[in-house]
Amino acid sequence: MTSDKRRETKKFVIIGAGISGLSFASVLPYKSYLILEKEKEVGGLCKTIKKEGFIWDYSGHFMHFKDDSLKRKLFKKIQCEIISQNKNTAIKYKNKFIDYPFQENIHQLNKKEFIDCLYDLYFRPKEKKCSDLKGFLISNYGKSICEKFLFPYNSKLYCTGLENLDKDAIGRFFPHADFSQVLYNIREKRKDTYNEIFYYPKKGIFELVKAFLPENFSNRIILNEPVIEIDLNNKRVRTRSYEIEYDYLISTIDLKSFLKLVKIKVPTYLASSKVLVFNFGFDAAAKSDFHWIYVPEYKYPMYRVGFYNNIIKQTKLSLYVEVAFRDDAKIDSVSKIKENILSSLDNMGILNGERLVADHNVIMNPAYVHISNKSINFVKDLKRNLHNKNCYLLGRYAEWKYNSIEDNVLNAFRLADSLKL
């Protein structure tokens, strides 16, 4: 460590000023922590863009709550109108839109496809010991439902074979397809589907970030200050300008970046997909009332299209479009991808001559981590070793798992509470 840096000593040093880091700090004594953020702004991937009257996020970030006390707490802190919506989502399948979830609405397919899906669902191979996502999906939903939607959609999302992913990591996010419920849905649509109600700050998801910011946060958060070295044995963090000693280190940055900082070899199986997000604003009103749609067909580059105008009740069509790539893929031409997407939106019937008046794009990397049995065991062993050195991983990308915003906030609160010594 060099001697020409500003020296600090803090009980807690937090790396990353996203939702996880900020929510952790929000319940600590004000002078006990310091947050180091490599970007010029706080918020991580929960940033909001405002352009030509349109409001977009880096991607679609919506709030779902199982914990009512957390919902009440956050609603008090967010300083703008919070919109509550009953989710209206669908799957673009061939020449029609099928209500989501696909597995409960197969009766909306043509007769032959419906019979295929129903037959395969009833006679599906019920393997109790399948460990990978592909086997989990087949044993729960049958071959036809998987081949028509679950396989292509998730392959586009993760950009890897589903046999490479662990079923326990994300299986809980798949709505269960009960055979009797599928039959019931033919007559009366189920209303208590997965995450049926969602909430969104009308001014964008960054309003949630602001709710966690401390007063005079410039004294607690150092922006544009990437960490360049972590010494776990001597409990020191080094940046370009600072040398900080700590009692506890909390890392919320992605796991691969953290491992490089502590000089641990990054395993090859820590892979992920990255997502190129386009936000589009048009000069005319939307023709549908969907909040977002899923796009499993390979002929279209995107896997999801969201309608901000329907979410925040604006008149002019405002979209977010997500395209996934392997984490090591080279994105050659964003402009060509943009042209392809606009053409695809036209072919899908979402556009019909509307004029694009504003747009924005951003790459989220990582976006969806590949969770395998190897990665689960690696993180488990790593966290145990780090805990012995008062170092903790916190958040979706730091812990290499799939978390909701609610999960991240609650986990941050629990960790902070456990470390108030």
Residue 150 lies in a domain: yes
* pTM score, whole prediction: 0.94
Domain end (from 334, 350, 368): 368
The answer on 254 and 220 residing in a single domain is yes
Please state, in angstroms and rounded to a whole number, the distance separating the CA atoms of residues 121 and 99: 18
* DSSP 8-state symbol, 41: S
The answer on 183 and 136 residing in a single domain is yes
36, burial (CB in 10 Å: exposed 0-12, middle 13-18, buried 19+): buried
The answer on 174 and 98 residing in a single domain is yes
Q: Which CATH number does the domain housing residue 117 bear?
A: 1.10.3110
Q: Which residues are registered as beta bridge partners of 320?
A: 279, 306
Tens place of pLDDT per residue across the chain (421 aa): 445 789 999 999 999 999 999 999 999 988 899 999 999 999 999 999 999 999 999 988 999 999 999 999 999 999 999 999 999 999 999 999 999 999 989 999 999 999 999 999 999 987 777 889 999 899 989 999 999 999 999 999 999 999 999 987 776 666 666 778 788 778 777 655 667 899 999 999 999 999 999 877 878 999 999 999 999 999 999 999 999 999 999 999 999 999 999 999 999 999 999 999 999 999 998 889 999 999 999 999 999 999 999 999 999 999 999 999 999 999 989 999 999 999 999 999 999 999 999 999 999 999 999 999 999 999 999 999 999 999 999 999 999 999 899 999 999 999 999 987 5
Residue 200 lies in a domain: no
DSSP letter for each residue of 343-404: HHHHHTTS-SSPPEEEEEEEEEEEEEE---HHHHHHHHHHHHHHHTTTEEE-STTTTTS---
Show Cβ contacts of residue 231 under 8 Å, excluding neighbours closer than 6 positions: 1, 237, 238
CA 45 to chain centre: 9
Please state, in angstroms and rounded to a whole number, the distance separating the CA atoms of residues 40 and 38: 7
The answer on 303 and 348 residing in a single domain is yes
pLDDT of residue 273: 97
Residue 364 lies in a domain: yes
User: Nearest to residue 300, comparing CAs of 94, 146, 113, 106?
Assistant: 94
Structure-token pair, residue 97: 């839109």
Residue 205 lies in a domain: no
The answer on 122 and 190 residing in a single domain is yes
Domain end (from 194, 228, 248): 194
The answer on 177 and 101 residing in a single domain is yes
218, burial (CB in 10 Å: exposed 0-12, middle 13-18, buried 19+): exposed
pLDDT of residue 1: 46
Torsion of CA 288, 290, 291, 297, to 10 degrees: -110
The answer on 225 and 317 residing in a single domain is no
Q: 3-state DSSP call for residue 83?
A: strand
Residue 70 lies in a domain: no
Residue 94: domain span: 89-194
Domain end (from 194, 221, 247): 194
The answer on 244 and 105 residing in a single domain is no
Residue 54 lies in a domain: no
Residue 53 lies in a domain: no
The answer on 353 and 243 residing in a single domain is no
Residue 312 lies in a domain: yes
The radius of gyration of the chain's CA atoms, rounded to the nearest angstrom, is: 23
Structure-token pair, residue 380: 């488990």
Q: Which CATH number does the domain housing residue 318 bear?
A: 3.90.660.10
Q: Which CATH number does the domain housing residue 243 bear?
A: 3.50.50.60
Please state, in angstroms and rounded to a whole number, the distance separating the CA atoms of residues 369 and 250: 20
Count of C-beta atoms within a 10 Å radius of residue 260: 13
Number of domains in the chain: 3
The answer on 383 and 261 residing in a single domain is yes
CB 258 within 8 A of CB 393: yes
The answer on 152 and 238 residing in a single domain is no
Triad 81, 83, 85: Cα angle to 5°: 175
The answer on 112 and 256 residing in a single domain is no
